[in-house]
Amino acid sequence: MPSFDIVNELNMNEVDNAVNQAAKEIQQRYDFKGSNSTVEREEKIIKINSQDEAKVNAVIDVLQSKMAKRGISIQSLDIGKVEPAGGGRAKVEIKLKEGIDKEQAKNIVKKIKDTKLKVQPSIQGDTVRVSGKKIDDLQEVIGFLKGEELSIPVDFQNFRD
């Protein structure tokens, strides 16, 4: 029976490249001179530290543009609240969202079932597997989900006949 998986995965190499490009741009830009702004990634958290809240927000904008250029969805970033750091500085932590949690998986399954196509979606850990008798129905589900506004970016993998 043909099937495919709906997943939410990040390419960490691309994330690292985007963070490094943002850090390099911050070092070179005139408006960041003397602000000692930093961007660094530790596991699934990106930490930004700068002179004040306005500079932190500017660094976030630079990071988001670099992420978008690298093909990483901005929806994968969970930007925290800007907090004061020692010495009159400001910092923020950005969590990288990966995987589909139960709430989002239930929402995706409901949307697929509402299409009335003859497919069976099932939640398997942090992925949603969709199987059906006809490949055309599966392709229709993929087209439908690409047009939907989901709270997370999704990819389609393991398409099997």
36 and 86 housed in the same domain? yes
Cα distance between residue 104 and residue 61, in whole Å: 27
Please report which confidence band the pLDDT of residue 21 belongs to, taking 50, 70 and 90 as the band edges: very high
For residue 32, pLDDT over 90 is answered with: no
Please report which confidence band the pLDDT of residue 34 belongs to, taking 50, 70 and 90 as the band edges: confident
The CATH number of residue 131's host domain is 3.30.70.860
For residue 160, pLDDT over 90 is answered with: no
* In contact, 3 and 150? CB cutoff 8 Å: no
Q: Which of 75, 96, 117 is the last residue of a domain?
A: 96
- pLDDT tens sequence across 120-139: 999 998 899 999 999 999 99
Backbone angles phi, psi at 79, to 5 degrees: -80, 125
pLDDT, residue 161, reads 78
85 and 20 housed in the same domain? yes
The torsion region of residue 160 among left (phi > 0), alpha (psi -120 to 50) and beta comes to beta
**Structural domain containing residue 53:** 12-96
Rounded (to 5) percent helix, strand, coil in the chain? 45, 30, 25
Average pLDDT score over residue span 70-84: 90
Backbone angles phi, psi at 89, to 5 degrees: -95, 175
